[in-house]
Amino acid sequence: MKNIYVLGGGIIGLFSAYYLSKTGCQVTIIEQTDLADGCSFGNAGMVVPSHLIPLAAPGMISKGMKMLFDSQSPFYIKPRLSTHLARWGYHFYKSSTEKHVRQSIPVLRDISLLSRELYATLAQESNFKFGFQEKGLLMIYKTEHAEKEEIETAKLANKAGIPAYVLSAQEVQSMESELRVDCRGGIFFPKDAHLIPQVLVQELINYLKNKRVKILDNTDVLGFEKKNEQIQSIITSKGKLAQADEIILAVGAWSPVLTAQLGLNLPLQSGKGYSLTLKNREKNVKIPTILTEAKVAVTPMESDLRLAGTMEITDIDLSVNMQRVKGIVQSIPHYYPEIKMQMPEKEAVWKGLRPCSPDGLPYIGRSKHFKNLIVATGHAMMGISLAPATGKLVAEIATHQHLSMEINAFVPERFE
């Protein structure tokens, strides 16, 4: 029986532990918090095979530069002198090509469809109830420019085998029976799904505890002892942990701290996002929706409505920028005139740090520098969406099984 340490108790670490435990491995999760509020708790809960285009794509840099000077825009890079940020920006620039997009679409499609299939299977198990619904996704827009861009994306999706339908404003409205929608039109992706992330996380934690997976919470990883291309032991705030057969690095936005200790070159920046949850709505949005121009995700979660957005490229910084939150709040009535919004108290705003690779693809695979290290991070805004597939791939790598899909595009050392 393999002894495996999973570093990180976020959604990627939890699903890695879930699938590893099913192989009979002895699994220990090491997490710096009490697992009460990870990056996945407050996100939009979308499972999106429709999201085939990586963050690094042609035009993204020019779009980002325009947004930098708007205090309420959905995108922001915190100015700072940082060699890590400079290196990340260089690789982002090099990756923002048509060739990269063309090569990324098949692998993003495959890992997304694998995740969706695994979620559907999980939702059928009697002991897992996490609000999984297969209602699809609407991308709605108000401008001609956004319409052209989204129709092109729909063409790419259909070509890749992901169904996408162009809808008129009237057709969008027909899908939303309770609220008026103000838009020019939209794209509907019927294969997308959604769930309630905080419920999913708690269900996974309960399952793992019942399966006697050990969880060392409130435990910091302080360093490693290394020898002969092996990690010999993990030094934590609660003592030294003996050598493991495999170590899974799944600490999300905190990955650069640990990879630096291991001497690994893994470009990654934190992308901060915010969300608000409107509770117990009498009239609610029916279909999960992305407001294209505002870059805001709108997800019904039973009687609640979650609004999520912004991408602040920053350090490990969990402060709340209320100007960015204001951008989310003010965008909602432009698309849903009947939803009355007011600015929330800062304490009511959820915030999370997403681990962003410079090419928009996750890092998944065994390290070529340490024989017993497997990396699983860099999922950016797709953590919930890609978590089951990532966890399954991690388990397959660790136990030398045939992989569910080809993962060469995700190799951790691709920027060396």
Confidence at residue 64, expressed as pLDDT on a 0 to 100 scale:
56
Which residues have a Cβ under 8 Å from the Cβ of 305 and sit 6 or more positions away? 277, 278, 281, 284, 285, 298, 299, 339
Walk me through the domains of the chain, giving residue ranges and CATH numbers: 3-410 (3.50.50.60)
The alpha carbon of 98 is separated from its chain's Cα centroid by a whole number of angstroms, namely 23
User: In the 3-class helix/strand/coil scheme, how is 175-236 assigned residue by residue?
Assistant: HCCCCCCCCCEEEEECCCEECCHHHHHHHHHHHHHHCCCEEECCCCEEEEEEECCEEEEEEE
Q: H or E element: which one contains 112? A: helix 98-124
Residues 6 or more apart in contact with residue 376 via CB below 8 angstroms: 12, 13, 16, 248, 249, 250, 362, 363, 364, 390, 391, 393, 394
Give the model confidence (pLDDT) of 332-369 as tens digits.
999 999 999 999 999 999 999 999 999 999 999 999 99
pLDDT of 359 reads 95
Determine the pLDDT at residue 242.
82
**Tokens for 369?**
């520098």
What's the longest Cα–Cα distance across the chain?
Answer: 65
Helices and strands in the chain, H and E counts:
10, 20
Q: What is the pLDDT of residue 59?
A: 67
State residue 372's pLDDT score. Answer: 97
User: What pLDDT sits at residue 17?
Assistant: 98
Q: What pLDDT, on the 0 to 100 scale, is given for residue 366? A: 98
DSSP 8-class letter at 153: H
In the predicted model, residues of the chain with pLDDT beneath 70 are 37-40, 59-74
Element (H, E) at 77: strand 75-77
Q: Provide the pairing of β-strand 363-366 with 165-168.
A: unpaired
Amino acid 5: pLDDT: 98
What per-residue confidence (pLDDT) applies to 221?
Answer: 96
pLDDT number for residue 80? 76
State the pTM of this model. 0.95
- Residues 264-279: pLDDT tens digits? 989 999 999 999 999 9
Terminal CA-CA length for the chain: 34
